[in-house]
């Protein structure tokens, strides 16, 4: 009983950090959407997308590998910090050509490209530091490292608002400083974890979580790929509109499904089932209820939040409601797999996501030039539907309900 209370307490603390940081970043998006030009807002969203996707790629799954490797060893006897520094060194080398490509292909200012490069290193360090803390049982601190920077960024944005200093350069610098501050926190937290002298070659660690790395990265890429295509084909102003119209819908769908997921994953991992009533009635009713709410009220909310700057776009809103439902279903699939999925289930889901990405790329190249951001939303809807159908087929085989 005490162990269950301890577990619930840990999950509750982590959930609180995730919820608060998500709300803070939601408010940041509203602030920036109101105060920046559409071009600058889209430009920041592009930088945010790059610094969200690339860290998970350039660390090559070492965050998951650290968990799977060091969970079986006494960390106090190993020089784990040396492995962390070697991984950061490798990340710094791998990031150089990628950032140079982004600077040249998207015509990013070199100074902003340098900031992107440093954030890749800092966020990569935070992701791996998160893993070390989780292995040590410090779950709250671990989640604080990878989510708490959003809270600090929100405070910076409020300060800029008070000082009337809303320029894109100030916003990007505030974004950068949020990560700098959390690297300091990471160093303080990690310093307290005992270190040994036994050296473990990084090649012995690399690959321990590579399959999970592929699934996680492919999932992240799929949720953000539309922004890369819009930025290149239509420009940053179009991306600003695309994100502003979607942010309320996607944020609430994500928060709701993630909250369910935090309960669902440990529930399934303990060998328990979901009641058929919850599986076939309650969860779908939540998705339908949110969809109806957004169908009737998104226009009004966006008008209030953005002071009329992004009014209209009802067709785009309708498509984002579909995308929100599909994201809701995806999170349900993801957490269910995390709870009881076998290796073969992960492999099948990875191929489902991979095929969906190919479909998205083809549709985007056809639809975006013809239908602008509506084309991007259609391509996203179709490809996400294919992904979710594949995931539902896997869940059906797993029989997660009683």
Find the DSSP H helices in 59-148. Answer: 62-70, 80-105, 110-135, 139-147
The size of the chain, in residues, is 402
- Report the pLDDT averaged over residues 33-57: 92
Asked whether residue 207 carries a pLDDT value surpassing 90, the answer given is: no
**String of DSSP letters for 54-82:** HHHHHTTTHHHHHHHHHTTS-GGGB-HHH
Alpha-carbon torsion, ordered 308, 255, 281, 284, to 10 deg: 50
pLDDT by residue (tens digit) across 211-242?
667 777 888 888 889 999 999 999 999 999 99
Rounded distance between C-alpha atoms, residue 106 and residue 364, angstroms:
17
How do residues 266-308 score in pLDDT, each as one tens digit?
555 556 666 655 556 777 888 899 999 999 999 999 999 998 8
Determine the pLDDT at residue 275.
60
**What are the structure tokens assigned to 179, written together?**
């990560």
What pLDDT sits at residue 192?
Answer: 87
Q: Please state the rounded mean pLDDT for residues 28-44.
A: 92
User: How many CA atoms lie within 13 Å of 138's alpha carbon, on the beta-carbon side?
Assistant: 15
User: Residue 44's pLDDT is what?
Assistant: 95
Q: Where are the domains of the chain?
A: 1-208, 212-402
pLDDT at 390 over 60: yes
**Distance between CA 125 and CA 127 in Å, rounded?**
5
Instruction: Quote the pLDDT of residue 75.
Output: 74
Portion of the chain with pLDDT greater than 70, in percent: 85
Look at the block and give the residue holding tokens 């709250």: 140
Place of tokens 């939601």: 26
Q: Which residues contact 232 (CB under 8 A, 6 or more apart)?
A: 105, 106
Q: What is the pLDDT of residue 8?
A: 44
Average pLDDT value over all residues in the chain: 84
How far is Cα 241 from Cα 321, in angstroms, rounded to an integer? 16
The arithmetic mean of pLDDT across residues 32-38, rounded, is: 91
Cβ distance 97 to 64 under 8 Å?
Answer: no
Q: Quote the pLDDT of residue 1.
A: 42
> End-to-end alpha-carbon separation of the chain, Å?
24
Mutual orientation of helices 110-135 and 139-147 as an angle, nearest 10°?
170
Q: In this structure, are residues 262 and 334 in contact, taking their beta carbons and an 8 Å threshold? A: no
The structure tokens listed for 379 are 């391509």
Q: Distance between CA atoms of 254 and 249, rounded to whole angstroms?
A: 9
Burial profile 142-181: b = 16 or more Cβ within 10 angstroms, e = fewer = bbbbbbbbbbbbbebbeebeeeeebebeebbbbbbebbeb
């Amino acid at each position: 009983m005490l162990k269950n209370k301890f577990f619930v307490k840990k999950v509750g603390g982590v959930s609180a950090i995730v919820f608060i940081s998500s709300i803070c970043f939601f408010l940041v998006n509203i602030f920036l959407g109101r105060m920046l030009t559409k071009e600058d807002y889209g430009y920041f969203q592009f930088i945010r997308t790059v610094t969200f996707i690339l860290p998970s790629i350039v660390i090559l799954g070492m965050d998951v590998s650290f968990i799977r490797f060091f969970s079986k060893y006494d960390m106090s006897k190993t020089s784990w910090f040396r492995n962390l520094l070697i991984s950061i060194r490798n990340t710094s080398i791998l990031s150089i050509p990628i950032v140079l490509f982004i600077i040249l292909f998207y015509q990013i200012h070199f100074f902003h490209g340098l900031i992107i490069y440093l954030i890749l290193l800092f966020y990569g360090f935070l992701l791996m530091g998160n893993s070390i803390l989780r292995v040590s049982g410090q779950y709250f601190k671990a989640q604080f490292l990878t989510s708490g920077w959003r809270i600090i960024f929100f405070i910076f944005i409020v300060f800029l608002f008070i000082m009337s200093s809303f320029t894109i350069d100030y916003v990007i610098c505030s974004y950068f400083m949020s990560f700098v501050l959390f690297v300091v926190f990471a160093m303080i937290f990690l310093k307290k974890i005992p270190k040994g002298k036994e050296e473990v070659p990084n090649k012995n660690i690399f690959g321990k979580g590579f399959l999970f790395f592929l699934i996680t990265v492919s999932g992240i890429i799929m949720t953000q790929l539309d922004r890369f295509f819009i930025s290149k084909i239509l420009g940053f102003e179009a991306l600003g509109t695309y994100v502003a119209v979607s942010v309320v819908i996607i944020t609430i769908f994500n928060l709701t499904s993630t909250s369910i997921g935090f309960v669902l994953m440990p529930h399934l991992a303990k060998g328990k089932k979901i009641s058929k009533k919850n599986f076939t009635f309650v969860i779908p009713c939540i998705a339908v209820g949110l969809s109806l709410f957004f169908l009737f009220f998104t226009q009004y909310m966006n008008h209030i939040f953005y002071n009329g700057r992004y009014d209209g776009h009802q067709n785009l809103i309708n498509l984002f409601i579909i995308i929100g439902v599909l994201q809701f279903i995806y999170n349900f699939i993801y957490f269910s797999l995390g709870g009881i999925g076998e290796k073969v289930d992960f492999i099948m889901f990875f191929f489902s996501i991979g095929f969906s990405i190919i479909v998205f790329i083809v549709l985007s190249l056809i639809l975006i030039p013809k239908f602008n951001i509506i084309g991007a939303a259609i391509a996203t809807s179709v490809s996400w539907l294919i992904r979710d159908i594949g995931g539902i087929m896997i869940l059906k085989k797993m029989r997660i309900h009683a």
